[in-house]
A and B are shown apart, each in its own frame.
Chain A
Amino acid sequence: MDSELITVTIDGKEVKVIPGTTVLEAARTAGIHIPTLCHHDDLCSEALYQQTASTPHQGEHSHQHEESAMLSTPSSCRICLVEVEGLPKLHASCALPIHNAMTVRTTSTAIRHARRDILELMMSEHYGDCFACARNGTCELQKLCADYGVTSERFGRPHEPLFEKAEIGNIIVRDQNKCILCRRCVRMCALYQGVYALTTEGRGDHSRIATFMGKEMKDATCINCGQCINRCPTGALTERDDTDAVWHAIEDPDKMVVIQTAPAPRAAIGEMFGCEPGTPLTFQMNTALKRVGFDKVFDTNFSADLTILEEGSELISRLYKALVLKDNTAALPQFTSCSPGWIKFIEHFYPKYLPNLSSAKSPQQMMGAVLKTYFAEKNGWDPSKIVSVSLMPCTAKKFEAARPEMDASGYRDVDYALTTRELGRMFKQAGIELPKLDKTPFDDPFGTPTGSGVIFGATGGVMEAALRTVFEIVTGEKVESVFDHADIKPVRGFDGVRMAELTISKVGPVPEILSHLVPDFEWLKGATLRVGLAHGTVNAIRVMKDIEEGGPLSQCHFIEFMACPGGCLGGGGQPIPTDREIRAARAKAIYSEDATYVVRKSHENEDVLRIYREFFKEGPCSHKSHELLHTHYKERV
């Protein structure tokens, strides 16, 4: 093996690398930092080989080579230039593969001059005020301009905007005045999400990022996942800012402002305050939320558990209908429905499969619906005075919250969905140093945290939570009898598409709460429950293709889909930057939080059981729960 390694000398240091390694990667191993802009670790070929495989489905350009060509870094910003001994000119290290021994310099007067020129050229068409920019402090361009002492003397700066701001599908805000045309957004949307909403248009001085088929930005076929935002090096892409509206509600004495917090932001918000990725700040965040003026702080884990009961019961009743009653309207496999990016994806691209989607609302919407009904009733609050806010790792949650049908109680389930980034900014505006705060528990009555809700934040989490519950309900046994510590490891991990099986060797009696759905479980005895998982919608395409072709995934009973790579912890509303290591650290935080909870199964959550006793008295998937906790979907063009 060793003989295959190639020795390169970078700034006098020798490094041994496998053939094909780029100079950029080799330099990193040697501890030498080379600046980059169009390169992103998630978009280098190695990461992509791991994450993706499949063909685009939109438009003409669907031949296979497309991907392999798009895989290569565009090497278009040229900021990562280096000198290679024996070669004229400068070379982009991010796209320079090592096949022979070479000697490289990463810094010299020529290199520094070229880099500064490149930055000054970028700034010569950049219109934006760093102080008023959502990316102030996390902007890669801003940082490099500071590092290289960029001035506006030589090439000037625009004195007025060159372009109008535009919204992509209402949620994603695009300010082309800050765009450096690095195409990270285009590549992300195509290669991880398979949506191809964005494309590069025009030549020369007319080049710009546009939408597929030249649609208006606002009409772009976009699933609002925000993955493009997370990869944008500058403030050219941001989410719609709802913080002003929330501040306004908080300051209104007439309003009861309630916030629910999803699991994934907790594992990440610390990154905005200088913490290492994977530092959970759940309870410090509760303190901060109270300090900025939220009246109640609830844990979305509660409604995640509620979702599991609804979705799990739906699965059991679908299986019963399909397998026992031979009712072919019960579509299998059942698809999860808690990722709004995935929902919009299937509505656009695979509407034929809408019947397979669980009709259960997502935890965000369930919590909202329960707040303005059960909670309001219980506490004597006027639901019209409740402002329901959610903290989500996700930009698509803004779209979900605004879906017209999400108001079965007569009120909007969720009034404002904030991203982790927006809330982090609110904390900063309030002068809060999050990591230094004391801890505060969640408010009752939805305060019992369970581990099954927490792991919703990672790819595989919904499935694991559902399996824990379905297994125990059906068999009457502890899941620990099959999986140590109830950790269902086969569904964990970061592979783009995964499958797992669980054999039900014995069955127990039907618990009271499900007695309206099935008479007994005998028909499940000896059955093997097959489940699948996919994250990043390009992997959803792989799954859908396999189903269409009658492959192994078509034999699954239940499939979890998450629009974002890594699941919610890699959501489009999470702190920037992101890469595989950061996502893995967040996942670790989430799974270790799960392990610390006493109650780790949705059907053991006391608050959830109480709501079925007190409010949804007919049990999961009953009339009332259907009215408030379930929804429907529609085909979109």
Chain B
Amino acid sequence: MDPKAVHGFVGNKLSFSEVTPRDGIRMAAEMAPEDVVAIIGASGLRGRGGAGFPTGKKWEFARGQEGSPKYIICNADEGEPGTFKDRLILTDFPELVFAGMAIAGRAVGAEFGILYLRAEYGWLREHLDAALERCRVANTLGNNILGASDFSFDISIRMGSGAYVCGEETALLESLEGRRGDARNRIPFPVQAGYLGKPTVVNNVETLAWVPCIMVKGPSWFAAMGTRKAPGAWLFCVSGDCKRPGIYEYPFGTSLRQILSDVGAENAKAVQVGGASGTCVPPAQFDRTMTPGDLATGGSIIVFGPGQDMFAVAENFQHFFCDESCGQCIPCRLGNQRMLEAIGRMRKDGLTVDGERNVRQLAQTMTVASKCGLGQMSARAFLSILNNFSGELPGHV
């Protein structure tokens, strides 16, 4: 394995540093839009925002929509606990992200892009505006990009509202339109009726950054990095109880054990993969691999060392969801509160048969009945801790 790490032990060496964004745009400008969609589709690129949806498919849907204008939105709300890769990409490779957005615009027939920037990243604003200006001067943004008469695209930056849920794409759209960041119903999907009711592609920063790379180096270059089932590479943010925290690029199919050994966390007691919405993996499962369908991730890996109280960890996550739920739907708003109380009782009095049945039933309801991904995934961390670490509860023999 050859992880390309930042702040890690191999030095700043990501695939992104090998590509000139302008080249990607030039290729797209010289191509028919449907060919751009086809290339991204063939690469097998999947969304890096957490859900892992195939990007080519998303663009194809958007391309097929009749409404106009269409919009490309870059989701730079990066709120998942333990993720900081988008910040790095925006700092070091902003032109790559803008190129990805322009190429997406070319592919689906959109001329306007918005970058929704996490409120806490406000200090990046000036840097990004300057980069946008450079792109306009270089004509990789603006009218008739690189001389193509039918290729115009520009981007504006909008600040986020400081809520985790605003990273969820429909809440993000509400927030962009000036309302509370409450998640919308997911039918219709944003590609059908998104920003201002128009067809809208929402992609993560990293997803978009890969796009010009794939254009330049070709879909097979990208695919060859991973496995047959899961082509490509991914950025992982490793934090917690490890010797070398940082951002690492790994191909798909890498095992968790491998990553832990690279970052100096061989003695980990548990690893939270995928942030607060993810799952907590015990040592017995460290051979699982980073692959959609196995350990899908939003790029966050949090290591818990031997000294951690796993139910305190669970309580912490649940607390996060109580605060961060947008508050509109009952299973999430109240489910998380009752779940938090139940964990507190469990930590004090141990687990009863009834108690366990009740929390599992509640978790089930939160999962199937919540309106958006936040509520649907907010019991996951706790359930995986309950499944693997119930021995830590008092009264357990």
A interface list, Cβ under 8 A from B: 60-61, 63, 65-66, 68-69, 72, 74-79, 81, 89-92, 95-97, 110, 113-114, 117-118, 121-122, 124-125, 154-155, 180-181, 183, 200, 202-207
Contacts and interface: CB of A to CB of B under 8 A. Distances in A.
Interface in B361-387: 361-362, 364-365, 367-371, 376
Contacts of B156: none
Contacts of A154: 358, 362
B328 A181 contact: yes
A101 B334 CA distance: 34
Nearest to B357: A154
B378 to A, nearest CB: 11
B375 to A, nearest CB: 9
A74 B184 CA distance: 8
B136 interface: no
A92 B324 CA distance: 22
Contacts of B150: none
Interface stretch (B9-17, B111-119, B120-128, B175-183): B175-183
Interface string B314-336: 00000001111111111101111
B335 A121 contact: yes
14 contacts: A61-B178, A74-B328, A78-B369, A114-B365, A118-B365, A124-B338, A180-B330, A200-B180, A200-B182, A203-B323, A204-B321, A204-B322, A204-B324, A204-B336
A65 B334 contact: no
B328 A72 contact: no
Instruction: Give the interface centre of B184, B330, B338 by most chain A CB atoms within 10 Å.
Output: B330
A428 B365 CA distance: 41
A204 B362 CA distance: 17
B68 interface: no
Contacts of B323: 203-205
Given A121-B335, A181-B328, A207-B333, A76 B371 contact: yes
B325 A117 contact: no
B81 to A, nearest CB: 15
A204 B326 contact: yes
Contact of B368 (A63, A89, A204, A207): A89
Nearest to B195: A65
Nearest to A123: B334
A89 B186 CA distance: 13
A75 B369 CA distance: 11
B327 A60 contact: no
Contacts of B369: 78, 81, 89-90, 114, 117-118
Given A117-B361, A124-B338, A206 B188 contact: no
B227 interface: no
Contacts of A203: 163, 165, 323-327
A105 to B, nearest CB: 13
A77 B330 contact: yes
Instruction: Give the interface centre of B163, B165, B177, B333 by most chain A CB atoms within 10 Å.
Output: B333
B349 to A, nearest CB: 15
A121 B187 contact: no
B179 A121 contact: no
A207 B332 CA distance: 12
A75 B358 CA distance: 25
**Which 4 residue pairs across A and B have the least CB separation, nearest first?**
A207-B327, A121-B334, A117-B365, A76-B328
A65 B179 CA distance: 11
B30 to A, nearest CB: 36
B185 A95 contact: yes
Contact of B178 (A60, A76, A118, A205): A60
Interface in B260-285: none
A65 B338 contact: no
B196 interface: yes
Given A81-B369, A97-B187, A121-B338, A207 B328 contact: yes
Interface of B: 163, 165, 174, 177-180, 182, 184-185, 187-188, 196-197, 321-331, 333-338, 358, 361-362, 364-365, 367-371, 376
Nearest to B174: A69
A78 B174 CA distance: 20
A206 B196 CA distance: 28
Contacts of B338: 121, 124, 155
Contacts of B184: 69, 72
Contact of A78 (B321, B331, B361): B331
Nearest to A97: B187
Contact of B329 (A76, A97, A110, A124): A76
A483 B135 CA distance: 72
Contacts of B326: 203-204, 207
A181 B361 CA distance: 23
A124 B327 contact: no
Nearest to B358: A154
B164 to A, nearest CB: 9
A151 to B, nearest CB: 12
Given A65-B177, A75-B185, A205-B323, 6 more contacts: A75-B329, A76-B329, A77-B330, A78-B370, A97-B187, A200-B180
A17 to B, nearest CB: 15
B328 A110 contact: no
Contacts of B335: 117, 121
B190 to A, nearest CB: 13
B177 A78 contact: no
A72 B185 contact: yes
A200 B326 CA distance: 11
A100 to B, nearest CB: 11
A117 B362 contact: yes
Given A122-B334, A205-B337, A89 B376 contact: yes
Given A60-B178, A95-B185, A205-B322, A121 B331 contact: yes
A121 B325 CA distance: 15
A141 to B, nearest CB: 11
A207 B163 CA distance: 13
Contacts of A121: 330-331, 334-335, 338
Contacts of A76: 328-330, 371
Contacts of B165: 203
A89 B325 CA distance: 19
Contact of A63 (B178, B364, B365): B178
A110 B197 contact: no
Nearest to B185: A95
A132 B312 CA distance: 42
A341 B358 CA distance: 48
A203 B328 CA distance: 8
B292 to A, nearest CB: 16
A125 B335 CA distance: 11
B353 to A, nearest CB: 14
Instruction: Give the interface centre of A66, A97, A154, A200 by most chain B CB atoms within 10 Å.
Output: A154
Nearest to B335: A121
A77 B329 CA distance: 5
B185 to A, nearest CB: 5
B306 to A, nearest CB: 32
B368 A110 contact: yes
A122 B327 CA distance: 13
Instruction: Give the interface centre of B334, B337, B361, B362 by most chain A CB atoms within 10 Å.
Output: B334
A81 B188 CA distance: 17
Contacts of A183: 328
Contacts of A60: 178
Contacts of B365: 113-114, 117-118
B361 A97 contact: no
A90 B185 CA distance: 12
A163 to B, nearest CB: 15
B327 A90 contact: no
Contacts of A205: 322-323, 325, 327, 333, 336-337
A75 B329 CA distance: 8
A180 B328 CA distance: 10
Contacts of B174: 69
